[in-house]
Amino acid sequence: MHAPGIWGIIIVAAVVLLLFGRGKISGMMGEVASGIKAFQKGMKDEDKPTPLEAGTTIDAREIDRSKDV
């Protein structure tokens, strides 16, 4: 099989535009962009050390109290 030509690509693009419309496509792309931004923010937050990693010590009594709650 061979790759689709320019006319095939144009026809597929026209059908997609007719089915979804410009508003829906731009809305979907906005949702994808916000998802990517949230993922990048989550990756940045993951790099921050937690208090336990920073060398903070926890008293055993504090751990027992957290289990009672």
For 19-68, give the secondary structure using H, E and C. Answer: HHHHHHHHHHHHHHHHHHHHHHHHHHHHCCCCCCCCCCCCCHHHHHHHHH
| pLDDT number for residue 7 | 92
Domain boundaries, the chain: 6-68
Distance of alpha carbon 23 from alpha carbon 17, whole angstroms: 10
For the chain, what is the largest distance between any 2 Cα atoms, rounded to a whole number of angstroms?
Answer: 73
Three-state SS at 5: coil
Mean pLDDT by 10 residues, the chain (69 residues): 86 88 81 92 73 57 53
* Predicted TM-score of the model (pTM): 0.41
